[in-house]
Structure 1
Amino acid sequence: MDRNTFTGLFLIMIIIGVSVWIMKPSDAQIKKEAELQAQLKKGKKPGAATKTVNLDTAKLGPKPVDSAMLKTPFGASLQGVEKLVTIENKDLKVRLSTLGGRIYSVELKNYQTADKKPLVLFEGDDNKFGFNFAAGVASINTSERYFTPSAQGLQVTGQDSSAITMRLSYSPTQYIDYIYTLKGEGYKVGLVIKSTGLDNIVANAGSITLNWQSSLRRLEKSIQLDHQYSMIQYYDTDKDFDYFGDTKDDAKEINDKKLQWVSFKQHFFSSVLLSKDGFSKSSLSVSTDTSNHKDIKQLKANLTVARNSDGTYPFDFYFSPNRYSLLAAEGHGFEKQINLGWGPLKYINRVAVIPVFNLLTKFNWNYGLIILALTVILKLVLSPLTYKSYLSMAKMRVLKPEMDEIKAKVGEDNPTLLQQEYLKLYKKAGVNPLGGCLPLLLQMPIVIAFFRFFPGLFELRGQSFLWMHDLSTYDSFINFGFNVPFLGDHLSLMCVLMTISTLIYTYFNNQISGVTGQMKYVGYITPIIFLGALNGYPAGLNYYYFLANMFTFLQQYIIRLMVDDKKIHAQIQENKKKPEDPKKKKTGFAARMEEMMRQQQQAQASAAKKGK
């Protein structure tokens, strides 16, 4: 290294050293950076506000209002400051807003969301409740007016009933009151709308049309089930129940009957508005904002109700869990919000499954053990049908060599004749070819009933068993981080186990029945389809199907020890030796089959003659 090079490097080092010294951060900057790193470690975003906001104080300053508007009826109510007033009991924390006098938010104190946050059904300006009316030339929307609470910033608690009044004033002696009541426990919030001294000012005071709308928050782990179980439900004064909006956005106008209540239903929680005298006209709609991942659906209801004889409009809000026993105890047909299936399925669940389940819960077992006990009881009840089905399949398996001989003699070119020969063989052997199918068909309604029972079972929410942290939702052991066609963004371990057990069951079932050809492989397709269909369903449902398969294996093993194929074959041969009783009437099925065969033979003979 020559002198010039050394001198250049030395000068560069001096420049770098001076620059570092000049540009070094001050003590205040070092402290600020340390605070920033601490915030990042706690999960806060850089620059996020750290001050606490008291929701029971003013949120916004007074809005500017045109002075001319202040002189219109109720003009003074256009100006004000939004404040929140809290009323709560053992189960609910309800916040009322002075803007619109409405319920601003509802928290169920004894429950949490899937990510362990306070369970707030709704909150904020996307949720509205109020009505429009005309006062002179002015059109008044109560949702845009400021009410005065009975006590500013009051927090009402206690075991007895509590009440708070939100007042929309026209004058000191003329006003509209929203009177809210809340008992010491329970999920009912009473609301009475009362008008005082306004009959000569408010037009058409005999009825009002409420505008109620809510943006449903995502509360559960599975957004698929949240969407599927979120909808509008309603129950009319004739005790007819209906719902819509579960599968697509929709709207309904109901003017031909009175609705007793309307429910904004979510998977495990509901907001219900009830009018004892009924809503005479109803306009309902469900919409989905696909760009919003925080909220599930937006529900709206415009409900017309007549004034009561005492000049009031009485209502009840119910903000409650969708627990069947709780809703049934409330009355008013609230339990119909839980979908137990259509037709006979709901009666199976209502009359048999729910009482047995409720009996098992009294033992205070883990819900995984309760599902196990429920499966054992079901399998014991269905064991006679399972035995009959296995016995019928065993008979068909024993007859298989003789059926193959008939097929070789007749050939496959004449299917009508082949079926006739088969029927003759069945008749002589005393075998019903449908004997194995009928018991299975009788079991299908029960299997489908459980498909409706478990996904809507509130008791499973948050209950863990083995590796399953929540039996009411899927147990993902692989999260893909992106959507995979057919499966979604995860893979459920219990669903995989259920699928494997169903495939094994299908294999052994084919061995028992002796099925061959393409039908041998058809049974393997259904479990694969169920893997995709049930992957997002509750672990409790897949756990039940897995247990059902396991107990079916056990039942078939025991039955196989009891059933001897040689004895069955000997009995069939004895039946074939017996002479046919001419007085014995043919069964409806046999008669129809023979008639069908006869008609097919005639058709084939006619076609052969025409061909000649």
Structure 2
Amino acid sequence: MDKELQKNMLLAIALSIVIMLIWQHFFAPKQPEQVQQQEQAAENIYHERPEPAAPTASTTGFETATTQVPPVELAKALDVAVSTPHVTATFTTLGARLTSLVLPEYQSKRGGHVELVPQDADMGWPLALGFNDTGFGTSTDSFVYEHKLYEPSGADLSDLTRELPACLSNAAPETPENEIRQRLDSCLPKLEATDDLRTAVIAHAAGKFAAAGSATNLAEMISKSTVLVFSRQLNPELKLYKAFVFDSGNYSFDMYVAFRNTGSQPLDLGRGRASYSINWVPGLESSETSAKGDQLVGVYLVEKDFGQKAIRKLKEAMVFPDKLTWIGLKRSYFFVAFAPTGGLVDASIKPLVQKGDRVSITFDMRPIKLEPGGIAADNIRILAGPMLKEVLESLGSEFDRILNFGFFDIFGKFLLAALILFDKYVQSYGLAIILLTLVVRLGLFPLNQKSYKSMKQMQSLQPMMNDLREKYKKNPQEMNKKMMELYRTHKVNPMGGCLPIAFQMPILIALFQALRYAVELRGASFLWISDLSEPDRLFTLTAPFRLSINLLPLLVIAAMVIQQRMTPMPSGAQNESQKLMMQLMPIIFGLMFYSMPSGLTVYFLVSTVLGLAQQYFVQKSA
């Protein structure tokens, strides 16, 4: 392989990286290469459901927000907020729906704290219910619910939980949930003042009893929870409860939908495939400066099969079976997910607009039969927070698979773990990135050293190679033969400069992915950089330019220009186009990094400078 071919290969590798990064930054959702592979691998997990004929119907056939709200009911609606150290949830009593879900520990780039619920009332609010056949309509969104909020260790909550151990003294972890509910319903004190709380505690205790390990642990856990209960007597025979139980220690809370037969006759809710639906609309709000680089992706786990789908590519509803473990939405740094724990018929993700980020997630729940006085309840665990490894792992159920760095995921997670470890010692993610770059360069030192030496050897052969080109310019086959003899004589491997670079590509790409999507860098400052997850923005020009001056990409251009001057350009008229492309490469990289996170640019700049130093010493020692 002669000098031109070597340059061509190096150019092809560099251009491939540029094209991949530009495509990922401007067009693809997070982890695009893995999205495509997992979509193909998981085709048997779901099937696409065509658009329904009626434009107002959901994917389940339940209407969820089509009923006109009477002015009297609207006037009575109130907002109710529940705050924990990790989340602040705000509900409206109109439909008992969620109107805001804020992460108080994180700042939004658009002002205030990170808001996960899109503030688009015309599209509907999350956690609405839709009904199939109940005799009172298809939606409860127009109802104003009664509500009560019970704080941790409050008197009412303590009185009920105190009785739990005695009520469940003979229950085993494998006791069915419906039997647990029946025991508690017949055992717990029946006080009209705490009817709603009693129902919520029964539903929550039945769902968590097996995991708690004992009734005593269960009682202690519930007593420390915040419980918000909405209730509505739908008709003389049926009362509906929507309860939300918050544990202050994590990024999740439980939603329970419970029904009680208050009549004298058996009730059959949903005479078809499902009785009601739970709906999350209209997606997941972006908290970044530009939503273009913060695209929305649907994620799901069916048994052990994980998959994800870019919402902008979703044309029809995706329907998942009852074996669904969890389903959710994610952006670059934050996520919301739902884990139904029983009663699910199927779940679906449906686009609300074409090529947009408005989407609904619908859970179709089982038909319900109730004897007089009987109670039935379904539970969905709702999880929302940052895509931090320790947070996702603490939630269990393989939620850590939501955090994914693409095809080289293992490398990416290893490098991110190293970055976090370094930060613990240097107390600065900027310094941690530099330290990580040093470690990576040290690990790649032998490969880079071999590459630079090979390039130096090839450079020393240039005069003889040019003579052979001139001598055999009319006989390419003979020229190639003589070139190979020249390589053997001088013991030069023409691929020596290319292969080491190719071998390190997986590590470099994984590092790029890890730094680009690391929540840890979000809001972290370094030197003049206010946020390592954003461009460095040294200063901004005033009107009429409105242009941010980013210093790091300019330094990248300067470093690459110096690097080019240390690397001889191909000569000859036939190489003019290649020479021009090599000269344009610093500008291409500078433009590419101009809108990328500064943490990634810091890595690339430091790596380039270290490469310059290594190349300089190789050339001096030759």
TM-score (norm 1): 0.70
Provide the residue aligned with 1:98 in structure 2. 93
RMSD: 3.3
- Residue 141 in structure 1 maps to residue 202 in structure 2: no
Matched, 1:550 2:609: yes
Deviates more, 1:354-363 or 1:176-185: 354-363
Q: CA deviation at 1:522?
A: 2.6
| Structure 2 letter corresponding to 1:542 | T
| Deviation of the 1:239 alpha carbon | 2.9
SS at 1:332's partner residue?
coil
Q: Deviations over 1:421-440 (max 9, x none)?
A: 21222223222111110001
- Aligned residue number for residue 455 of structure 1: 516
How far apart are the structure 2 equivalents of 1:157 and 1:459? 35
Q: Which residue of 2 aligns with 1:347?
A: 410
1-side partners of 2:502 and 2:483: how far apart? 23
Residue aligned with 2:509, SS: helix
**Match of residue 361, structure 2, among 284, 290, 301:** 301
**Cα distance, 1:172 vs. partner?**
6.7
Distance 1:93 1:137, change over 3 A: closer
C-alpha contact (below 8 Å) 2:529/2:538 kept by paired residues: no
The 1:276/1:420 distance shift into structure 2, 3 A limit, reads: farther
Given the superposition, is the C-alpha separation of residues 183 and 402 from structure 1 closer, same or farther in structure 2, using an over 3 Å criterion? Answer: same
1:169 maps to what in 2? 233
Contact 1:454-1:540 within 8 A present in 2 as well: yes
Instruction: Indicate the residue corresponding to 1:338 in structure 2.
Output: 403
1: CA distance between counterparts of 2:484 and 2:146? 85
Percent identical residues: 23
Deviations 1:170-202 (CA, angstroms, capped at 9, x unpaired): 357631211210012221111111122186252
Tell me, in whole angstroms, the C-alpha distance in 2 between the residues paired with 1:223 and 1:482. 24
Cα 1:64–1:286 shift into 2, 3 Å: closer
Which residues of 2 match residues 86-235 of structure 1 at below 5 A?
86-122=81-117, 123=119, 125=121, 126-135=124-133, 137-150=135-148, 160-171=224-235, 174-197=238-261, 200=267, 202-204=269-271, 207-226=275-294, 228=295, 230-235=296-301
- The structural deviation recorded for 1:514 is 8.7
Shift of 1:249: 6.0
Distance 1:515 1:150, change over 3 A: farther
What SS does the corresponding residue of 1:143 show, helix, strand or coil?
coil
Contact 1:397 1:514 in 2 (8 A): no
Quick one: distance in 2 between partners of 1:83 and 1:425? 85
Counterpart residue identity of residue 130, structure 1: A
Kindly indicate whether the alpha-carbon contact (under 8 Å) linking 1:150 and 1:166 is maintained by their aligned counterparts in 2: yes
1:215 Cα shift? 4.9
Q: What is the CA-CA distance between 1:524 and the residue it aligns to? A: 2.7
- State yes or no: 1:357 paired with 2:419: yes
Q: 1:254 to 1:278 in 2, by over 3 A?
A: farther
Distance 1:374 1:79, change over 3 A: closer
Q: Is residue 2:63 matched to residue 1:63? A: no
- The alpha-carbon distance between structure 1 residues 399 and 136, as it changes in their structure 2 partners (threshold 3 A), is closer
Q: Is contact 1:252–1:285 with CA below 8 Å preserved after alignment?
A: yes
1:495 is the counterpart of 2:553: yes
Task: Tell me the residue number matched to 2:480.
Answer: 419
Equivalent-residue separation in structure 1 for 2:313 and 2:537 (angstroms): 27
Matches within 5 A, 1:23-38: none
Counterparts in 2 of 1:536 and 1:250: CA distance versus 1, 3 Å: farther
Q: Distance in 1 between matches of 2:368 and 2:564?
A: 64
Q: Could you tell me whether the CA contact under 8 Å between 2:283 and 2:329 is conserved in 1?
A: no
Taking the aligned partners of 1:237 and 1:348, their CA distance within structure 2 comes to 25
Once residues 545 and 224 of structure 1 are traced to their aligned partners in structure 2, the CA distance between those partners, rounded to angstroms, is 23
Q: Which protein, 1 or 2, shows the higher relative CO under an 8 Å CA cutoff with sep ≥ 6?
A: 2
Judged with a 3 Å threshold, the aligned counterparts in structure 2 of structure 1 residues 482 and 346 are, in CA distance, closer, same or farther, namely: farther
Q: Which runs of 5+ in 1 are unaligned?
A: 1-61, 66-77, 291-295, 565-612
- Residue 412 of structure 2 is aligned to residue 405 of structure 1: no
Alignment deviations for residues 233-285 of structure 1 (CA, whole Å, 9 cap, x no partner): 2222233222212x556444234674322222232222211113595533323
Which residue pairs with 1:510 in the alignment?
568
Aligned with 2:597 (options 538, 542, 545) = 538
The verdict on how the C-alpha distance between 1:303 and 1:509 changes in structure 2, with shifts beyond 3 A counting, is farther
Answer yes or no: is the 8 Å Cα contact 1:127–1:215 preserved in 2: no
2:619 equivalent to 1:560: yes
- State whether residues 131 and 275 of structure 2, in contact with CA within 8 Å, keep that contact through their aligned partners in structure 1: no
Deviations along 1:450-484, one digit per CA (max 9) or x if unpaired, are: 22111210011111111111001112346468999
TM-superposed deviation, 1:157: 9.1
Shift of 1:306: 3.5
Distance across 2 between alignment mates of 1:255 and 1:218: 26
Letter in 2 for 1:473: E
Q: Deviations over 1:32-83 (max 9, x none)?
A: xxxxxxxxxxxxxxxxxxxxxxxxxxxxxx9358xxxxxxxxxxxx787211
Counterpart of 2:32 in structure 1 is none
Say how many residue pairs are matched.
Answer: 473
Give the Å deviation of 1:542: 0.8
**Helix, strand or coil for the counterpart of 2:141?**
helix
SS in 1 for 2:230: strand
- Residues 113-157 of structure 1: per-residue CA shift (max 9 Å, x gap): 125523322246342322322445543213332222135xx7779
Q: 1:471 aligns with which of 532, 536, 540?
A: 532
Q: Is the counterpart of residue 394 in structure 1 residue 425 in structure 2?
A: no
Aligned equivalents of 2:564, 2:522: Cα separation in 1 = 32
SS state of the match for residue 615, structure 2? helix
Q: Closer, same or farther in 2 for the Cα pair 1:256/1:264, shift >3 Å?
A: closer
Report the Cα offset of residue 384 of structure 1: 0.2
Distance (whole Å) between structure 1 residues aligned to residue 398 and residue 92 of structure 2: 30
In 2, distance between residues paired with 1:157 and 1:395? 77
Mapped contact 1:232–1:263 kept (Cα < 8 A):
yes
Q: Which runs of 5+ in 2 are unaligned?
A: 1-68, 155-222, 370-374
TM-score by length of 2: 0.69
Q: Is the 8 A contact 1:148 1:166 kept in 2?
A: yes
Residue in structure 2 matching 1:253, options 311, 315, 318: 318
Q: 1:314 corresponds to which residue?
A: 379
**2:339–2:382 CA contact under 8 A, matched in 1:** yes
After superposition, what is the alpha-carbon deviation per residue over 1:466-524, rounded to whole angstroms, capped at 9, x for unaligned?
1111001112346468999xxx964532122223222322332337x999933333323
Provide the rounded CA distance (Å) in 1 between the counterparts of 2:349 and 2:542. Answer: 36
Find the aligned partners of 1:94 and 1:348 in 2 and give their Cα distance.
36
SS at match of 1:283: strand
Distance 2:343 2:465 in 1: 67
Return the alpha-carbon distance in structure 2 between the equivalents of residues 395 and 141 of structure 1: 77
CA distances 1:7-37 after superposition (whole Å, capped 9, x unpaired):
xxxxxxxxxxxxxxxxxxxxxxxxxxxxxxx
Q: Secondary structure at the match of 1:271?
A: strand
Separation of aligned partners in 1, 2:610 and 2:604? 10
> Is the partner of 1:430 in helix, strand or coil?
coil
